[in-house]
Structure 1
Amino acid sequence: MYLYKLEAKGKGFPDAFVIVLAEDEEGAFQAADQLLQRNALGLIEVSEIAIVEKKRAEKANGYVLER
């Protein structure tokens, strides 16, 4: 399992970082899209989504998110 940090852009939501736990890149993209759709307050359109970082899911691994 890996931790993926993805950056998403589109219509109906501000640019966002999405962090997911997935087996592979395809699973990471699917999970990120589902999270974006589930957390949206209305209809959104994801136009770009890209993996920014990938790390093994191990104790003490994580990401620092800046504002």
Structure 2
Amino acid sequence: MHDTHQVNAMIATTVCEFFKDHSTIRIASEEAKLLGKLIVEALNGAGLEIAPSRGAGTPDHQTSQD
């Protein structure tokens, strides 16, 4: 993984944004950061890696029509 802090922050921001309009459920930013860290650790533990996109048209994203 390239920048775990950035990935954790993006997940935390998304979690906070998701819960911001819920009247009965709230999550503090520190809890969201911990949740982001745990999600990344679980993905890594499963052998998955979050990496920047290479974009369409690169060798890893060629279609069978190319």
Alignment TM-score > 0.5, same fold = no
* TM-score after normalising by structure 2: 0.34
* TM-score after normalising by structure 1: 0.33
The structure that is helix-richer by fraction is 2
Larger radius of gyration: 2
The structure that is strand-richer by fraction is 1
